[in-house]
Chain A
Amino acid sequence: MRDQLEGSLGIARTVARCRPEVVSAYPISPQTHIVEALSDMVRTGELAPCEFMLVESEFAAMSAAIGASAVGARAYTATASQGLLYMAEALYNASGLGLPVVMTLANRAIGAPINIWNDHSDAMSQRDSGWIQLYAESNQAAIDLHVQAFALAEELSLPVMVCVDGFVLTHAVEPLDVPEQEDVDAFLPPYEPRQVLDPEDPVTIGAMVGPEAFTEVRYLAHAKQMQALDLVPEVASRFTQAFGRSSGGLLRRYRTEGAETVVVALGSVLGTIEDVVDGLRANGERVGALGITCFRPFPLEEVRAALAEARRVVVVERAFAVGIGGIVGQNVRLALDGLPPVVHDVVAGLGGRAVTRRSLESLVADVRAGRLEPGRLHFLDLDTRLVERELQRLQERRRSGPHAENILRDVGAVAARPY
């Protein structure tokens, strides 16, 4: 049903339609509205049978989901940022054990310094955890991806996280089409576990595996993610047939045909990027955009095919690998290995800094004019004055003080700005 809804509420309602049997939740901004809505639905009986567990930490949230899934229940949780890190051990455990837990990750920066706003550092920190990672470009995509996530997870026996930009999407109110219960039921059958704790047929799950077999078990984890490269588009296609709209899949191309310059990104910033592309195309500039929906497994062949004809690729990402450079950029470069396109790594939107149309237009202009050095990580909208002032401080005194506080003081706590 189409209605004007907050993203979090749309996601919660959709998750409820997927009939989770156990929802374990620990509150953290900006995921709170999702779990609050689910709690309401369980209390009113709208979502039943479902046990809503008010756990004492994110570590407990994922652990409870593991226990629930092992008993054969469809299990769900949601978190962000620090919460994701706190459950990191359990993330690896869930994927290593092959339990199809689905989780919403309301992307938020990781501290220190503490920051509650949107970027992708949380998801990126766990990109090697063995979880499938899907990124939503919009709230409608977020909704649709959750339905697909349960199907994917259960077919593969692998956990899936759906990344939804915190505040930017979770707290945005927009027109959303939440799938009807009957349609979700038809698409998503009840969970049939590959392994389950059943007194009638006892099994041991979680045994220690030594050098003689560990490699093989881990290889299977990689192989399953490779299978996902085929299954993700298949599930997306099934979804389109069932629900009548296109969503999910590995990538989304936007006006990349004949594009000289392609901007690559994940998540909600793609909306703004598409506006930029339309504006530039109207001026005759051959620019396109590529949205990566499935980041893990990384669709090397598909990215290669999508970008092979471009002259230059600008990867705009909301996280980076400290000490080396871009993360998505690195993966894209790998996909383009041996091919002509020049790849630029650009970091933007860290800790909730807005990625504006204006900045993106300047960026594309700079790239096209050759003003951006390809080999170096470029920070969009970096205030070099602030950085230089702090570096100067470090030179002057040993006890230079905390970076964050010094920079904030320079920025001015009560600066008159619109927001």
Chain B
Amino acid sequence: MFEVRVHGRGGQGVVTAAELLSVAAFQEGKYAQAFPTFGSERTGAPVTAFCRIADGPIRAREPIVEPDAVVVQDPTLLRQVDVFAGIGPDAYVLVNTARSFDELGLSQLAVRLRPDRLVAVPATELARTHLGRPLPNAALLGAFAALTGAVTLESVAGAIRRRFSGATGEGNVAAATAAFAAVEPDRSCAHA
């Protein structure tokens, strides 16, 4: 089982990100479960969403305590929420930022993890460029696909299009593709 935890703030599409990830996995014939935890406030409050991916049916109904991957959609959470709780030395960490890990104060973390599994992606900027809105979730999914290989970019694109039609869908797919390329330039010729 591959367990992913996504952190962000209300209004940033955290819950949608986990859901789309689960749909992408489903499209590849895997079993996936996505669910959120949040409070009753609307925008701005910390939101966490989870996604489990497995080859067989998933029965567990508890939050993900030891994630294999953590996605941080909003780095301002770093001071507020222990987003890296429970990660092991082989975890993947994907942070939405244009700054470096050092600048974010994450140099200690970087030492604990495998260097090829810790990635920063300017997803908000990519979203602004390709989608016209600062909604980083789709871009982060593209980056996630490149980083972990847990799902393909193709599946991510399929999941996005199933949820968002027309220009919105295409914009999100473009952002995801760009983020994928940013993480794995060698695979950037993959078609979405």
Residue from A175, A268, A272, A419 within 8 A of B31 (CB atoms): A175
B residues 75-113 in Cβ contact with A at 8 Å: 80-83, 85-86
A417 touches B34 (CB 8 A): no
B61 touches A271 (CB 8 A): yes
**Least Cβ distance of A377 to chain B in Å?**
22
**Least Cβ distance of A27 to chain B in Å?**
13
Most B CB atoms within 10 A — which of A3, A29, A175, A358? A175
B62 touches A272 (CB 8 A): yes
Nearest A-chain residue to B52, judged by Cβ: A174
Q: Judge whether B151 is part of the interface by a CB distance below 8 angstroms.
A: no
Nearest A-chain residue to B40, judged by Cβ: A116
Most B CB atoms within 10 A — which of A269, A357, A414, A419? A419
Residue from A3, A172, A268 within 8 A of B34 (CB atoms): A172
Nearest A-chain residue to B26, judged by Cβ: A4
Neighbouring B residues of A317 by C-beta, 8 Å: none
Q: Judge whether A53 is part of the interface by a CB distance below 8 angstroms.
A: no
B22 touches A174 (CB 8 A): yes
Residue from A169, A171, A271 within 8 A of B60 (CB atoms): A271
Residue from B33, B48, B80, B82 within 8 A of A172 (CB atoms): B33
Q: What is the CA–CA distance of A175 and B53 in the complex, to the nearest angstrom? A: 11
Q: What is the CA–CA distance of A29 and B37 in the complex, to the nearest angstrom? A: 13
Q: What is the CA–CA distance of A169 and B59 in the complex, to the nearest angstrom? A: 11
How many chain A residues touch B (CB < 8 A): the figure is: 31
Nearest B-chain residue to A352, judged by Cβ: B37
A416 touches B82 (CB 8 A): yes
B34 touches A167 (CB 8 A): no
Neighbouring A residues of B86 by C-beta, 8 Å: 418
Q: Judge whether A119 is part of the interface by a CB distance below 8 angstroms.
A: no
Q: Judge whether B5 is part of the interface by a CB distance below 8 angstroms.
A: yes
Interface membership of chain B positions 1-18, coded 1 if the CB is closer than 8 angstroms to chain A and 0 otherwise: 000010100000001001
Nearest A-chain residue to B31, judged by Cβ: A175
Interface membership of chain A positions 74-106, coded 1 if the CB is closer than 8 angstroms to chain B and 0 otherwise: 000000000000000000000000000000000
Neighbouring B residues of A355 by C-beta, 8 Å: 61-62
Q: Judge whether A6 is part of the interface by a CB distance below 8 angstroms.
A: yes
**Least Cβ distance of B36 to chain A in Å?**
6
Q: Judge whether B140 is part of the interface by a CB distance below 8 angstroms.
A: no
Residue from B5, B19, B60 within 8 A of A173 (CB atoms): B19
| Known A167-B37, A175-B32: A269·B80 in contact at CB below 8 Å | no
| Known A167-B35, A175-B31: A268·B81 in contact at CB below 8 Å | no
Specify the main secondary structure of chain B where it touches its partner: mixed
**Least Cβ distance of A275 to chain B in Å?**
5
B61 touches A173 (CB 8 A): no
Neighbouring A residues of B176 by C-beta, 8 Å: none
**Least Cβ distance of A93 to chain B in Å?**
31
B37 touches A419 (CB 8 A): yes
Interface membership of chain A positions 1-19, coded 1 if the CB is closer than 8 angstroms to chain B and 0 otherwise: 0011010000000000000
Neighbouring B residues of A417 by C-beta, 8 Å: 81-82, 85
Neighbouring A residues of B40 by C-beta, 8 Å: 29, 116
Q: What is the CA–CA distance of A220 and B46 in the complex, to the nearest angstrom? A: 52
Q: What is the CA–CA distance of A236 and B46 in the complex, to the nearest angstrom? A: 42
Interface membership of chain A positions 154-186, coded 1 if the CB is closer than 8 angstroms to chain B and 0 otherwise: 000000000001011101111100000000000
Q: What is the CA–CA distance of A17 and B83 in the complex, to the nearest angstrom? A: 42
Residue from A6, A165, A169, A356 within 8 A of B65 (CB atoms): A356
Q: Judge whether B156 is part of the interface by a CB distance below 8 angstroms.
A: no
Neighbouring B residues of A390 by C-beta, 8 Å: none
Q: Judge whether B178 is part of the interface by a CB distance below 8 angstroms.
A: no
Neighbouring B residues of A116 by C-beta, 8 Å: 39-40
Q: What is the CA–CA distance of A173 and B17 in the complex, to the nearest angstrom? A: 12
**Least Cβ distance of B187 to chain A in Å?**
25
Residue from A275, A414, A419 within 8 A of B48 (CB atoms): A419
| Known A172-B34, A417-B85: A274·B22 in contact at CB below 8 Å | no
Neighbouring B residues of A275 by C-beta, 8 Å: 59-60
Q: Judge whether A217 is part of the interface by a CB distance below 8 angstroms.
A: no
Q: What is the CA–CA distance of A204 and B52 in the complex, to the nearest angstrom? A: 55
Q: Judge whether A242 is part of the interface by a CB distance below 8 angstroms.
A: no
Given contacts A169-B61, A172-B61, A173-B32, list 7 more A-B pairs with CB under 8 A: A6-B19, A168-B61, A173-B18, A173-B34, A174-B22, A268-B61, A419-B48
Q: Which B residues are within 8 Å of any A CB, using their own CB?
A: 5, 7, 15, 18-19, 22-23, 26-27, 31-37, 39-40, 46, 48, 58-63, 65, 80-83, 85-86
What are some 27 contacts across the A-B interface (CB < 8 A)?
A4-B23, A29-B40, A116-B40, A169-B61, A171-B15, A171-B35, A172-B33, A172-B34, A172-B35, A172-B61, A173-B33, A173-B34, A174-B33, A269-B61, A271-B60, A272-B59, A272-B62, A275-B59, A275-B60, A355-B62, A356-B63, A414-B80, A418-B7, A418-B48, A418-B82, A419-B48, A419-B63
Q: Pick the 6 closest A-B CB pairs, nearest first.
A: A271-B59, A4-B26, A418-B85, A172-B35, A419-B48, A173-B34
